[in-house]
Amino acid sequence: MKNAIVTGASRGIGKAVAIQLAKENFHVIINYVSNEIEAQKTLDEIIGFDGSAELLKFDVSDKTQTEKAIENWTKNNPDKYISVLVNNAGIRKDGLILWMSDEDWFDVINTNLNSFFYLTRIIVKEMLVNKFGRIINIVSLSGLKGMPGQTNYSAAKAGIIGATKSLAQETARKGVTVNAVAPGFIKTDMTAELDEKELKKIIPAQRFGKPEEVAHLVSFLASENSAYITGETISINGGIY
């Protein structure tokens, strides 16, 4: 059984990805930072269909916490390694840059972009040693086209897209692929306050996507069948361009 870690897996896209990977016979490490109740629900759902999973609490935006958590997991699982990393954790603090505070800028950059660096550089080592790995970064439509009021969020997601392309070239010959998935409007807690009725008018598919639809794409990229796909950003957005 291969091991996968999904950050921010207590709700939304992260939860759907964790559940789908467990259905694909991965042992899933469910990362969360504060919402223990929802993280436990994700774990319970996986255990409910005889899947394999565990909880691992740490703040991805905190370098020390991240390193300590992965080091402890490795120490407790000496014969295993994490072969799939899904960098999903993210936050939004929207606002026009004219009134954006330092805190709103750095919180979003730290959680959405710096976390990629802190976690990926640790986990990729064992992937390279074992000559197999899948790194899948959940980015956003905002990182591709930009969105007003999301300068911080768009900057962070665009940064990960650039990092995806570069890292893919560093690791490809060792059997480690690196790809990004860019969801559009997906029905989650993060989009709950958006005007779905109005936004559907700009979506050719005329609807918001489901977290499970994103999870199926991530599941394919995590599989051995995706071995010749790397450095790509794949949009899943109902046709928005």
Q: At what angle do helices 115-130 and 63-76 cross, to 10 degrees?
A: 30
pLDDT at residue 19 is higher than 90: yes
Q: From the centroid of its chain, how far is CA 70? A: 17
Render pLDDT for 171-181 as a digit per residue (tens, 0 to 9): 999 999 999 99
Q: Which two tokens stand for residue 174?
A: 């060792």
The percentage of the chain sitting over the pLDDT mark of 90, rounded to a whole number, equals 83
CB 53 within 8 A of CB 101: no
Position 193 scores a pLDDT of 72
Q: What is the mean pLDDT of residues 191-195?
A: 69
Q: Provide the annotated active-site residues.
A: 153
Q: What is the mean pLDDT of residues 221-229?
A: 97
Render pLDDT for 112-162 as a digit per residue (tens, 0 to 9): 999 999 999 999 999 999 999 999 999 998 889 888 889 999 999 999 999
pLDDT band at 204 (very low <50, low <70, confident <90, very high): very high
Max CA distance (Å), the chain:
52
CB 85 within 8 A of CB 31: no
pLDDT band at 27 (very low <50, low <70, confident <90, very high): very high
Position 58 scores a pLDDT of 97
pLDDT at residue 190 is higher than 90: no
Position 192 scores a pLDDT of 64
Give the Cα separation of 121 and 108 in Å (integer): 20
Question: Structure pTM?
Answer: 0.94
CB 49 within 8 A of CB 28: no
Q: What is the mean pLDDT of residues 1-28?
A: 96
The percentage of the chain sitting over the pLDDT mark of 70, rounded to a whole number, equals 98
Query: Looking at residue 186, what DSSP letter applies?
Result: B
- CA torsion, ordered 217, 229, 25, 67, to nearest 10 deg: -100
Q: At what angle do helices 151-171 and 115-130 cross, to 10 degrees?
A: 20
In the chain, DSSP assigns E strands to 3-6, 27-32, 52-57, 82-87, 133-138, 176-183, 233-236
CB 203 within 8 A of CB 237: yes
Position 80 scores a pLDDT of 96
Mean pLDDT of the chain: 94
Higher pLDDT, 91 or 176: 176
CB 210 within 8 A of CB 236: no
DSSP 10-57: SSHHHHHHHHHHHHTT-EEEEEESS-HHHHHHHHHHHHHTT-EEEEEE
Report which of 99, 84, 197 is spatially closest to residue 136, judged by C-alpha positions.
Answer: 84
Position 241 scores a pLDDT of 81
